[in-house]
Amino acid sequence: MKKIIILFLSVSVLTISVNAQEIECIVDVVTESLSQEHTMNLESFKSKIENYINSNKFSDVDWEGPKIPVSISIQLIPIGQKNYSANMFIVSKRTISEENDGAAVNMKFEDNGKWNFEYSMGLSLSYDYNRFDNLSSILDFYMLIIIGLDLDTYDELGGDGCFRRAKNIFDLASLYNAHGWSSYSTDYGRYTLIGDLSSPRLDGFRKLVLDYYLDGLELLQFDRAEALENIAYIINKMADFKERYIAPSHYIDAWFFTKCNELCDLFRGYSNSRVFRNLMYLDPINTIRYEAAKDNKR
């Protein structure tokens, strides 16, 4: 497939000024299961986490264009007077067009029951990816992955530097035997995610994700028919990749978990049924949804 060159790819390309910081984050904290004492202790938690993420520069990239929109939902569970366990759900978006504030969900992460930390109102946070901290290192880890995945959608393997920093955080945490950071886990989690993103074996899929954005989503506003044809071709190449790769992949599964709704909306009622066969092969857990999209149903 010939690479489509679009003059106005995104606001990130058009913006001349350099914005050093990469993330614009909104945090929601669920405290329903907490006692009044714990709730009072956590009074500043939401603002402190938001300020930490929104004021720190996580990568060494000279950031151009808009910040990456990120939302984080944190459910806190007390396990001591000032100790907590947390479930976290993270969503990042990728800007598509400047005119209508268009953005596509780029990745969703679920991190459940593997984040334990101590928190008190006077606690201060500082960013250092070469130092492990039970509270902040998980935020650093995911923000670096989010930035890396965003960069991957603009430049071939553009996220490598961020993934190396995230891998460094994981390795440090593993040395401390910190909860949730085991390098021996076979469950999908931080270990399998950063393992995938650090592996050259997944480079081919990451390059196809770049094509998906540049030759597909970026083109939709100019030529929808050609954009859908390009995306169908890319999905076919992804199916070929999966057939060759064989091994389960946390990243690939997470990508389709994130993109299922978007793909169904794009191809609902599409005349070429091959794209649906490929999607059901790539993402079998959502077969029923792809079947409905093929039949032009919701």
Q: From first to last of its 298 residues, what are the pLDDT tens digits of the chain?
A: 544 443 333 333 333 344 589 999 999 999 887 899 998 999 999 999 999 999 999 999 999 888 999 999 999 999 988 999 999 999 999 999 765 568 999 999 999 988 999 999 889 999 999 999 999 999 999 999 999 999 999 999 999 999 999 999 999 999 999 999 988 876 789 999 999 999 999 999 999 999 999 999 999 999 999 999 999 999 999 999 999 987 889 999 999 999 999 999 999 999 999 999 999 999 999 999 999 999 999 8
CB-CB contact of 76 with 34 (8 Å) = yes
CB atoms closer than 10 angstroms to residue 197: 23
The secondary structure of 157-169 as a DSSP string is TTTHHHHHHHHHH
Q: Is 35 exposed, middle or buried (0-12, 13-18, 19+ CB in 10 A)?
A: exposed
Retrieve residue 272's tokens: 């070429």
Give the pairing of strands 102-118 and 83-97.
Answer: antiparallel
Closest alpha carbon to 194 in 169, 175, 158, 157: 169
What's residue 164's pLDDT?
Answer: 97
**Cα separation, 146 vs 296, whole angstroms:** 33
**Cα separation, 251 vs 214, whole angstroms:** 20
pLDDT tens for 42-73 read 999 999 999 999 999 999 999 988 899 999 99
pLDDT tens for 98-143 read 655 689 999 999 999 889 999 998 899 999 999 999 999 999 999 9
In the chain, % helix, strand, coil (3-state, to 5) comes to 45, 20, 35
What's residue 32's pLDDT?
Answer: 83
Retrieve residue 259's tokens: 């993109």
Could you tell me the pTM of the whole model?
0.91
Beta strands in the chain (DSSP E): 23-30, 68-78, 83-97, 102-118
